[in-house]
Amino acid sequence: MQATVDARGFDVGLDLAPGETVAIMGPNGAGKSTLLSVIAGLLRPDSGKAEIDGKVLFNLDGGASVWTAPHHRGTALLAQEPLLFPHLSALENVAFGPRSSGTAKKTARESARKWLAAVDAGELEARRPAELSGGQAQRVAVARALAANPEVLLLDEPMAALDIHAAPLLRRLLKKVLAGRRAIIITHDVLDALMLADRVIVLEGGRITEEGPTRQVLQRPRSRFAAGLSGLNLIPGTLTAAGIRTAEGLEVAGHQDEEAAPGGAGRPGVAAFPPSAVSVFLSDAHGSPRNSFRVTVTDLEQHGDQIRVRAGGMSADVTPAASADLGLVPGMNVYFVIKAAAVAVYPA
Amino acid sequence: MEQPRAGGYHGIPRWIYALAAAGALFVLLPLAAMAARVNWPQFIPLVTSESSLTALGLSLRTSAASTALCIVFGVPLALVLARSRFRGQQLLRAFVLLPLVLPPVVGGIALLYTFGRQGLLGRSLEAAGIQIAFSTTAVVLAQTFVALPFLVVSLEGALRTAGGRFEAVAATLGAGPTTVLRRVTVPLVLPGLASGAVLSFARSLGEFGATLTFAGSLQGVTRTLPLEIYLQRETDADAAVALSLVLVAVAVTVVGLTYRRQGQTDRGSAAPAGERLDGTQ
Amino acid sequence: MNTPNHRLAGLLTALLLASALAACAPAPQPASPSGPSLSGPSAEGAERLSGTVTVFAAASLKATFTKLASEFEAQNPGTKVTLSFAGSSDLATQIGQGAPADVFASADAKNMAKLSDAELIDGTAANFATNTLEIAVPPSNPASIASFADLARPGIKVVLCASQVPCGAAAESVEEAAGVTLSPVSEESSVTDVLGKVTSGEADAGLVYVTDVKAAGGRVRGIPIPEAATAVNTYPIASVGSSRNKELAAAFIAMVTGPDGRKTFSDAGFGAP
């Protein structure tokens, strides 16, 4: 699939293998929901082309104008809110898809019962959506989407509106049902990406900025957004023998990962390190292979049992006691010191 | 100062109540004054006279027919206005709503020049053997003309409130547009549709000016209850007052019953919003 | 705390109330005192008249009374005639409810009798004009109506007044006199509505007053009915008992019943009483 939506500055190309689940991550307004709307047929892109297993969803390239209506696409959508039809029982909600495709009422109900059982909601079949909790309703919504037997399942932050008790249950359920199923899931949660997706795509400003196997993207982030997801500090620059050099001429020493493709010096690369690897000093410390940056503290915040110090676009975690000893306040000039061994350097 | 109530803080200044009471009185007092003038000993004979019953029956039948027409044409109009985007949409809405503010007699004149014997369509209709002038059909057309906007306004509001998200989900589940309309859209806006239909019915019941201008006035054919009241007033004020009270009673009953039921279903359909709130706790 | 808002709200309310009251209040009366002024005799030798006289007149008198009122004002500088036209029974009801009328001119004896029975008028009413029914047909006379009996032909769309209103009562007596029973397609509550159905071409014929045909100019054609002589409608006029300007009322009535009135009514097609 490839599509552009001019009005939203959206230009995305995407391939999905059979049985593959892709997680779409990115900041708000990056075009994640636009992507799902385009695939589902709820939004008409200005140009582009998409097909599933040879079935053309749309082809608006080079004067062609093929447009398949949403109900002929086989792309069930599961949104943040369950959006169960309030006037139908849970069972009728789930049977809606099969019945719409012409299945007889009785058969559709049998199929609906099966799917309700699959999401552990068999006992809810007679209930109206108003009588379901948020988690129950979302489970029924999953069953409803699956019962439509979609070729691609589109999930738009399905866990975002759930409370912290209901989310893990639904996540386990989705892991079960998404296995071997072609699906696209939008999420803000690294855990969702790790558990549910084979591949992660980072979308920023309507464009794909990073993509790859979930584990690799989280461990070796190349975009600032992905680094933020995995809680890593990320410094982009050009690869050197010892590490990278930033555009401002700052040298960051690190160790090149053997597993990563050996990158020649001069290629774009990034240096990544966790906030826990950063020490904070009031004066410049000298020592063996270390990186030391003079920075101005912008923010202090509680992070677990540590104090996270934000300065110069980086984060450092220090204990509350150390923070008090140093007398850290925003606006203060300090030195962030990182051992070179803790800095991973790899091509971007 | 404010009495704490089960409903919680409502933030209405007290002087508002005075004006609200005045507003309510403004409507209720004339009705009460009219009821006070009813010749009660003669009430039953007056309202059960042949001409009264005929007029009431005609009013109920024509109002039911015009409400049906309003649904047939008003639902598609409301859907087109609420869900699609096209050039001239604002203009179309303005014109559809025009009968709300137009003096009914103007509507009657317009209908006359459309369906009348010398009218735009009337000539062809007459050639085809269909005569609308002075027929019950003319009454139904006049009532539909003035009542249609009530249905369109109510339903369009309900459609906009419901939003298009349920329809979008239904479409991705494989439901074609007609299935979506039948199984999702219409059930979702049923309360709005019902209240719109009731308003249309009530408006049809009270229609006078357009009917008088366009349909004429003949007992059993075109003389609806408002026309009968108008005529009775000439000779028999008691009969006019008694029939007015009957009309008020019918209107209050229809509107009251439906709004009560609608209030209940509203509470039912408000639940998903509450559920969403629960989910984000 | 919210003083500006409160003040604004109060101001708005006051403005609304003031404008509502202004709209509801009766038209302001001139400040000059009612009754004859003491400034001496007029040129014609009568006492000089002043003030306002409010005349409630049947709708069919609109053209003639408007003309007479302006003549009256011209002949009696300092006077003003306020006219209110409506159906006779409406006007009678309004006067019964205390409407501030000085003169009532009815299109039939029945509504005048209602008021005189209730002792709401002074003395006895004077008849000043008569009117008879005529058949009104569209100028092309599509149904070729030539006589009253033609109206009973099948397929003829004839519109009458309902029997509750004077023109309908008159139509009934004409039917009786002619021995013809009509099946109207509509029984309107005013003669104006009957005329409207004919001028718009909806009806083939209607029974209206001679004066209506005359006033409609070329928009309808009148066909006289000999049998209508049996149903002559008489217009009475009287001054209202509660009038605060009885001299002026009497002067206006005198003009209506006098030679000026006679000529005006005869020009408009009314008959003499």
In a domain, B22, yes or no: no
pLDDT of residue C148: 93
- Interchain CB contact of C172 with B (< 8 Å): no
Asked if residue A152 and residue A41 are part of one domain, the reply reads yes
Looking up residue A209, the CATH number of its domain turns out to be 3.40.50.300
Asked if residue A73 and residue A202 are part of one domain, the reply reads yes
pLDDT of residue A285: 66
ipTM given for this complex: 0.76
Looking up residue B176, the CATH number of its domain turns out to be 1.10.3720.10
In a domain, B277, yes or no: no
CB contact under 8 A, B272 and A75: no
Q: Is the pLDDT of residue C81 over 60?
A: yes
- Interchain CB contact of A70 with B (< 8 Å): yes
CB contact under 8 A, A129 and B275: yes
Asked if residue A238 and residue A208 are part of one domain, the reply reads no
Q: Is the pLDDT of residue A263 over 60?
A: no
| pLDDT tier, C22 (very low <50, low <70, confident <90, very high otherwise) | very low
Helix, strand, coil percent content, chain C, rounded in steps of 5: 45, 20, 35
Q: Which of B145-159, B251-265, C139-153, C255-269 has the lowest mean pLDDT?
A: B251-265
Asked if residue A253 and residue A204 are part of one domain, the reply reads no
From CA B194, how far away is CA B264, in angstroms rounded?
13
Dihedral sign of CA atoms C86, C92, C98, C103 in order: positive
Cα end-to-end distance, chain B, whole Å: 32
From CA A316, how far away is CA A309, in angstroms rounded?
5
Asked if residue A168 and residue A305 are part of one domain, the reply reads no
Spell C44-75 as b/e; 16+ CB within 10 A means b. eeebbbbbbbbbbbbebbeebbeebbeebeee
pLDDT of residue C43: 41
Asked if residue A251 and residue A144 are part of one domain, the reply reads no
In a domain, A226, yes or no: no
- From A219, A249, A277, give the residue that closes a domain: A219
From CA C149, how far away is CA A64, in angstroms rounded?
76
pLDDT of residue C14: 47
| Domain range for B238 | 41-268
Asked if residue A148 and residue A262 are part of one domain, the reply reads no
Contacts of B171 in chain A (CB under 8 A): 40-42, 69-71
Quick: pLDDT tens for A188-216: 888 888 888 889 998 888 888 888 888 88
Residue of C nearest to B126 (CA): C202
CB contact under 8 A, A71 and B279: no
- Interchain CB contact of B51 with A (< 8 Å): no
- Interchain CB contact of B218 with C (< 8 Å): yes
- Interchain CB contact of B137 with C (< 8 Å): no
- Interchain CB contact of B177 with A (< 8 Å): yes
Q: A148 and A98 in contact (C-beta within 8 Å)?
A: yes
- Interchain CB contact of A57 with B (< 8 Å): no
pLDDT of residue C147: 92
Residue of C nearest to B13 (CA): C6
- Interchain CB contact of B219 with C (< 8 Å): yes
Asked if residue A315 and residue A269 are part of one domain, the reply reads yes
In a domain, B262, yes or no: yes
Asked if residue A45 and residue A139 are part of one domain, the reply reads yes
Query: Which backbone phi and psi does B52 adopt, to 5 degrees?
Result: -65, -50
Mean pLDDT of the region C190-215:
90
Asked if residue A276 and residue A172 are part of one domain, the reply reads no
- Interchain CB contact of A115 with B (< 8 Å): no
| pLDDT tier, B261 (very low <50, low <70, confident <90, very high otherwise) | low
Which residues in chain B (147-176) have CB-CB distances under 8 A to chain C?
A: none
- Give the one of A41, A42, A96 whose C-beta lies nearest to B173's C-beta: A96
Residue of B nearest to C90 (CA): B234
In this complex, whether A and B touch, counting 3 or more CB pairs under 8 angstroms, is yes
Structure tokens at A348: 């971007």
Q: Is the pLDDT of residue B267 over 50?
A: no
- Give the one of B117, B219, B236 whose C-beta lies nearest to C201's C-beta: B117
Residue of B nearest to C194 (CA): B216
Quote the number of domains for chain B.
1
- Give the one of B183, B184, B272 whose C-beta lies nearest to A130's C-beta: B272
In a domain, A174, yes or no: yes
| pLDDT tier, C257 (very low <50, low <70, confident <90, very high otherwise) | very high
Asked if residue A187 and residue A97 are part of one domain, the reply reads yes
Q: C235 and C128 in contact (C-beta within 8 Å)?
A: yes
In a domain, A113, yes or no: yes
pLDDT of residue C19: 47
- From A219, A242, A274, give the residue that closes a domain: A219
pLDDT of residue A176: 87
* Residue B74 C-alpha, separation from nearest chain A C-alpha, in angstroms: 23
| Mean model confidence pLDDT for chain C | 83
Which residues in chain B (221-280) have CB-CB distances under 8 A to chain A?
A: 268-269, 271-272, 274-276, 278-280
Q: Is the pLDDT of residue C4 over 50?
A: no
Quick: pLDDT tens for A88-124: 999 999 999 999 888 888 999 999 999 999 888 889 9
Quote the number of domains for chain A.
2
- Interchain CB contact of C192 with B (< 8 Å): no
Quick: pLDDT tens for A136-186: 999 999 999 989 888 899 999 888 878 878 888 888 888 888 888 899 999
* Residue C42 C-alpha, separation from nearest chain B C-alpha, in angstroms: 43
Looking up residue A239, the CATH number of its domain turns out to be 2.40.50.100
From CA A224, how far away is CA B73, in angstroms rounded?
56
Q: Is the pLDDT of residue B259 over 90?
A: no
| pLDDT tier, C47 (very low <50, low <70, confident <90, very high otherwise) | low
Residue of C nearest to B214 (CA): C197
Q: A315 and A275 in contact (C-beta within 8 Å)?
A: yes
| pLDDT tier, C45 (very low <50, low <70, confident <90, very high otherwise) | very low
Whole-prediction pTM: 0.75
CB contact under 8 A, B133 and C202: yes
| pLDDT tier, A258 (very low <50, low <70, confident <90, very high otherwise) | low
In a domain, B66, yes or no: yes
| pLDDT tier, A261 (very low <50, low <70, confident <90, very high otherwise) | low
In a domain, A227, yes or no: no
Nearest to C31, CA basis, from C103, C104, C80: C80
| Domain range for A299 | 234-348
* Residue C129 C-alpha, separation from nearest chain B C-alpha, in angstroms: 22
- Interchain CB contact of B176 with A (< 8 Å): yes
Neighbouring chains of C at 3+ CB pairs within 8 Å? Answer: B
- Interchain CB contact of B179 with C (< 8 Å): no
CB contact under 8 A, C187 and B232: no
Residue with tokens 């007056």: B46
In a domain, B30, yes or no: no
| pLDDT tier, C26 (very low <50, low <70, confident <90, very high otherwise) | very low
Asked if residue A139 and residue A274 are part of one domain, the reply reads no
In a domain, A129, yes or no: yes
| pLDDT tier, B79 (very low <50, low <70, confident <90, very high otherwise) | very high
| pLDDT tier, C6 (very low <50, low <70, confident <90, very high otherwise) | low
Q: Is the pLDDT of residue B209 over 60?
A: yes
Residue with tokens 């009885």: C246
What percentage of chain C carries pLDDT values higher than 70?
83
From CA A251, how far away is CA A243, in angstroms rounded?
7
- From A219, A250, A280, give the residue that closes a domain: A219
